[in-house]
Amino acid sequence: MSDMTMHGHDDAPAGATGSAALAIFLWVVVTCALIYGLYNTFAKVVDLFTG
Partner 1 sequence: MSLLDRERTVAPRGYNRWLIPPAALAVHLSIGEIYAFSVFKVPLKDHFGTGLTAIGIIFSIAIGMLGLSAAFGGRWVERAGPRKAMALAATCWGSGFLIGAVGVATTQLWIVYLGIGVIGGIGLGIGYISPVSTLIKWFPDRPGMATGLAIMGFGGGAIIASPLEDSLLTRFGAGPDDGIVGAFIVLGCVYFVLMMLGAMAVRVPPEGWRPEGWTPPERSARSMITSANVTATTAIKTPQFWLLWTVLFCNVTAGIGILEQAAPMIQDFFPSVTAAAAAGFVGLLSICNMSGRFVWSSTSDVVGRKPIYMGYLGIGAICYLLLATAGTASVAIFVLLTGIILSFYGGGFATVPAYLKDLFGTIEVGAVHGRLLTAWSAAGIAGPLIVNGLADHETSVGKSGADLYTISLFIMVGVLVVGFIANLMIRPVAARYHETDRAAARDERFVRDGQPATTASPTPNTMTTGSES
Which residues would be at the binding site for partner 1 (CB under 8 A)?
A: 2-9, 11-16, 19-20, 22-27, 29-30, 33-34, 36-38, 40-42, 44-49, 51
- Helical (H) or strand (E) element with 8: none
CA nearest neighbour of 4 among 19, 24, 22, 26: 24
Shortest Å, Cβ 34 to partner 1: 6
Give me the half-sphere count of Cα atoms (radius 13 Å) on the Cβ side of residue 43: 6
Shortest Å, Cβ 47 to partner 1: 4
Shortest Å, Cβ 44 to partner 1: 4
